Structure 1
Amino acid sequence: MDANRILIIDYGSQFTQLIARRIREERVYCEIHPPTRSLEWIREWAPKGIVLSGGPSSVYGEDVPTADPQLLHMGIPVLGVCYGMQLITHLEGGVVERGRREYGRAHVTVEEGTGIFDGFPAGERTQVWMSHGDHVVQPPPGYRLLASTEGLPWAAFAANDRPIYGVQFHLEVAHTTRGADMIGNFVFRVCGCEPTWTAGSYIENEIAKIRSTVGDAQVICGLSGGVDSSVAASLVHRAIGEQLTCIFVDTGLLRAGERESVERTFRAHMGIKLEVVDASDLFLDRLAGVEDPEAKRKIIGHTFIDVFEDASARLGGDAQFLVQGTLYPDVIESLSVKGPSATIKTHHNVGGLKEDMKFALIEPLRELFKDEVRQVGRELGLPEEMVGRHPFPGPGLAIRVLGAVDRRELEVLRQADTIYLEEIRSAGLYDDIWQAFAVLLPVRSVGVMGDERTYENVCALRAVTSRDGMTADWYPFPHDVLARISTRIINEVAGINRVCYDISSKPPATIEWE
């Protein structure tokens, strides 16, 4: 692992992942971990710097996440953000005042252009983003002022004798105009990191790790044809070659032409051993009558493992490892393993796996964000049409047919989704959009077609822009494009007589509807 790395301790902020994104954009590796990590663990992990994230707690609350005071005396630079600054203050003997809420844009005046403000002239006024309920009114002994606002005398401070910094604002969000400069100063000037973390270095490290883990054992990969599983398969194949067999499961929940595309790409162009299993009847039988989205995800995850185990037995039965394209956002949203932030939903390839499955997991992309996975894919030589493809969820169309799933509704949705993507590509908008898909709602509406009354399903369209899937904004389609899409779906798909467009951002919504 790269020795130039930053540890982020997560105190529950919804912005914690943005801190990681900003640091990685500087080509420095970082990881998010919970505040329960011991000093011994931190010493062994050997970060060059530590970031204490924001969070919803008050340092005066009961059972709130905290830190060992010795964390600030380990000789490792520390940056506290919002709650992180308040925690430093509390641990070091300063005073935090409760109940002064401040949300939105503010302007700080830099008092001293050193440390995280290196390159900022004294007196510079710059925009920042505030989101806090408590604030520092008296810094700890031995701390000096770095920045203030009109209403906040201690917006940033630093220890006189150690590289310990605190900011009350969120320097990781885009609304903090020079936040990237502050983060760069901390990572490079304060912590002394080098920009060594690249797609190429990541591939080298993962290949060595995979070879060490696998030895001469056989490995299978659950291949979906999407970006994540394709890059994971390619990376593992580069590491162990013929020891890898990819298994593509036709769940009956796929988009049109998915199976044929995967067979063509992986067999003909990549030379990877591929077994195709048609398990559509099994999946649809198990999903019959199931409406709850969490139940759907777990059924699909468990069924995948059953299919893989059966396929492995037919192939000789000696596969010991299962490769999955699990990503960092999957882990963050499925399990609060990195900190106290709330679980949003279970991903079938994280929380939906059987506890008694016989395979050990290999997840070479588990600590990567989506755009980083694409970079690794390009470095591995995968074609752009594969690397640049929109994300497609492991549970497939099952979570885009809201309510119970059956073959008829899947086919209706499949046709609508195909038209939607065709029109997006035809308009030259595909690469401008992070993810686009159709959703079949459990709602019927009255319509008139050919002078006859209809009573059919409503189709919702979703398209978002995003950098990593953690946050997203709805895509502002030209009205003529939306009109063409709606007209084609209603005219060509029997079973739909109304089309709606989803203009919700994430948060408060999620990208998928289930």
Structure 2
Amino acid sequence: MERELVIVLDFGGQYNQLIARRVRECNVYCEVMSYDTSLEKIKELDPKGIIFTGGPASVYEDGSPKCDKEIFELGIPVLGICYGSQLMSHLLGGEVSKAPVREYGKTEVTFDTTSKLFQDLSETSICWMSHTDFISEIPEGFRITGRTDSCPVAALEKADQKLYAVQFHPEVVHTQEGTQMISNFLYNICECTGDWKMDSFVEDSIKAIKEKVGDKKVLCALSGGVDSSVAAVMIAKAIGKQLTCIFVDHGLLRKNEGDEVEAIFSNQFDLNFIRVNVQERFYAKLAGVSDPETKRKIVGEEFIRVFEEEAKKIGVVDYLVQGTIYPDVIESGLGKSAVIKSHHNVGGLPDYVDFKEIIEPLRDLFKDEVRKAGLELGIPENLVFRQPFPGPGLAIRIIGDITPEKVQIIQDADAIYREEIAKAGLDKTIGQYFAALTNMRSVGVMGDERTYDYAVALRAVNTSDFMTAESADLPWEVLGIVTSRIVNEVKGVNRVFYDCTGKPPATIEFE
């Protein structure tokens, strides 16, 4: 699919994916690549623009990441961010020095709004600074377009060569007009038309899959999660009954989830759907196991075995579908696509199943784009926006050993929690929320009788990247209703806790 491209060259910045997402939100397709991508490769890709990320290094240190100086002579617009701005200045003859005052956090910047980069912006605006070095002398031919009280060069440009640089981070939400700056770079400077739209991506992908697959057979392991569901439906729209989806119900899904997935895929889409009910088999394998890593391995390996057995009944297939998404690709080698994570989705299946090639229809998409594609494909909203759910399922939300009774307890408690969060209108504002079953039993009293039952822990966090998280500040009223309902309606529970811990020091999941 031919489309406009902007390249993000990564110099080790923590916000590399965020920059790419902001570009795509402006309807321009974008890929993250390593800073050492060759000039030949860049010329071959013919991007409309290049963005340098930030990074923790100092440009004057030995071994700091650098690109070829000739990149500035290609005639392609370049935007340097933070370390990227210092690198541009350094390579083009400017001076970079250690700052007398380290700038970190929200800072007021004054802009020259005659610059194409800052067109239609306020003359002063809050931006997010994070740097210990600063540009002490700008390169010849450049002019300063932004400054702060303690940073004389917060932005600079050489407009005739389409070279722009900012010392702050326009990609983070703390920079008030950051998205406008990125949009200005894309449209005023790179002259993009903005052809990256989800409806055309879905349409083009379906057409490309049709051409690639022809009359061959395709197999998909369907977890019921967002990525595998969207991948399956996209393939189904292209080739219909040539696709077989195998849905392994291991008995560790949320309440009624197996039935919901089956109803959607059996009734709404034209594909071969096989549901394999192997709850007892998984419970038997997990009996008496309380170590979290062992539980994960058992669930993963058993899933592969079940999938292998079902796949053998079908015989040779030509293609296997995987729901790989773009963050998987970046994290496994910064655009060096030969490296693929072994643990995403159905990692490992190629060793077991007789097939010729993998199809990854969502390989270019971020998670929010996968959801948009899902809506374009007609997948119901409740599936598209469902809460993140770990591969081992409830096995790692039950502390200690797993029994069918414990699974029932946590399914019921979690369903009540999700229902009340939705009723309170909080379901779209919290990053992730779920109930977990602790291994603690305590004395309680219910109906004048002594009880000795389990405690359920409720978790709710706000996060933008799932790398760090803060516990969500849930209203006491909501927590009170959830607690009352769980202890009254769920047999075997007499206490409810709310987990107030962030990540770090905790993880989002319990195990």
Query: What TM-score does the superposition give when structure 2 sets the normalisation length?
Result: 0.88
Aligned mates of 1:295, 1:103 — CA distance in 2: 43
1:425 aligned onto 2:385? no
1:106 aligned onto 2:103? no
Tell me, what secondary structure is at the counterpart of 2:13? coil
Residue 73 of structure 2 aligns with an amino acid whose one-letter code is H
Q: Show the 5 A alignment for 1:365-380.
A: 365-380=362-377
In structure 1, stretches of 5+ residues that fail to align are none
My pick for the range that moved more, 301-310 or 225-234, is 301-310
Q: Judge conservation of contact 2:113–2:120 (CA < 8 Å) in 1.
A: no
Residue 489 of structure 2 aligns with an amino acid whose one-letter code is E
Structure 1 residues 116 and 385, CA, compared in 2 at 3 Å: closer, same or farther? same
Residue 189 of structure 1 deviates from its aligned partner by: 0.8
Residue 131 of structure 1 deviates from its aligned partner by: 1.4
Residue 370 of structure 1 deviates from its aligned partner by: 2.9
Number of corresponding residues:
503
Tell me, what secondary structure is at the counterpart of 2:318? strand
Q: 2:7 matched to which residue of 1? A: 7
Residue 235 of structure 1 deviates from its aligned partner by: 0.6
Q: 1:136 matched to which residue of 2? A: 135
Q: 2:245 matched to which residue of 1? A: 246
Residue 225 of structure 1 deviates from its aligned partner by: 2.5
Q: 2:65 matched to which residue of 1? A: 65
My pick for the range that moved more, 192-201 or 362-371, is 362-371
Query: What TM-score does the superposition give when structure 1 sets the normalisation length?
Result: 0.88
Q: 2:150 matched to which residue of 1? A: 151
Residue 321 of structure 1 deviates from its aligned partner by: 2.2
Tell me, what secondary structure is at the counterpart of 1:40? helix
Residue 271 of structure 2 aligns with an amino acid whose one-letter code is I
Aligned mates of 1:78, 1:427 — CA distance in 2: 46
Structure 1 residues 134 and 212, CA, compared in 2 at 3 Å: closer, same or farther? farther
Structure 1 residues 319 and 354, CA, compared in 2 at 3 Å: closer, same or farther? closer
In structure 2, stretches of 5+ residues that fail to align are none
Identity of aligned residues (%): 49
Tell me, what secondary structure is at the counterpart of 1:93? coil
Q: Judge conservation of contact 1:11–1:339 (CA < 8 Å) in 2.
A: no
Residue 322 of structure 2 aligns with an amino acid whose one-letter code is Q
Aligned mates of 2:181, 2:58 — CA distance in 1: 25
1:438 aligned onto 2:435? yes
Residue 7 of structure 1 deviates from its aligned partner by: 1.1
Aligned mates of 1:441, 1:46 — CA distance in 2: 55
Aligned mates of 2:171, 2:504 — CA distance in 1: 17
Residue 408 of structure 2 aligns with an amino acid whose one-letter code is E
Aligned mates of 1:289, 1:331 — CA distance in 2: 37
Aligned partner (choices 353, 357, 360) of residue 348 of structure 2: 353
Q: 2:334 matched to which residue of 1? A: 338
Structure 1 residues 39 and 270, CA, compared in 2 at 3 Å: closer, same or farther? same
Structure 1 residues 291 and 129, CA, compared in 2 at 3 Å: closer, same or farther? farther
Residue 321 of structure 1 aligns with an amino acid whose one-letter code is Y
Q: 2:322 matched to which residue of 1? A: 324
My pick for the range that moved more, 317-326 or 239-248, is 317-326
Residue 154 of structure 1 deviates from its aligned partner by: 1.0
Structure 1 residues 407 and 89, CA, compared in 2 at 3 Å: closer, same or farther? farther
- Indicate the RMSD between aligned Cα atoms, in angstroms: 3.0
Structure 1 residues 415 and 173, CA, compared in 2 at 3 Å: closer, same or farther? same
**Deviation sequence 1:457-493 (CA, Å, 0-9, x none):** 4432223456676776544332111111112223333
**Deviation sequence 1:34-83 (CA, Å, 0-9, x none):** 22322222222222111111122222445433222222222211111111
Residue 459 of structure 1 aligns with an amino acid whose one-letter code is V
Structure 1 residues 480 and 57, CA, compared in 2 at 3 Å: closer, same or farther? same
1:410 aligned onto 2:402? no
Residue 191 of structure 1 deviates from its aligned partner by: 0.7
Q: 2:116 matched to which residue of 1? A: 115
Q: 2:394 matched to which residue of 1? A: 397
Residue 498 of structure 1 deviates from its aligned partner by: 3.2
Aligned mates of 1:149, 1:349 — CA distance in 2: 47
Q: Judge conservation of contact 1:328–1:366 (CA < 8 Å) in 2.
A: yes
My pick for the range that moved more, 488-497 or 463-472, is 463-472
Tell me, what secondary structure is at the counterpart of 1:220? strand
Residue 216 of structure 1 deviates from its aligned partner by: 2.8
Residue 402 of structure 1 deviates from its aligned partner by: 4.1
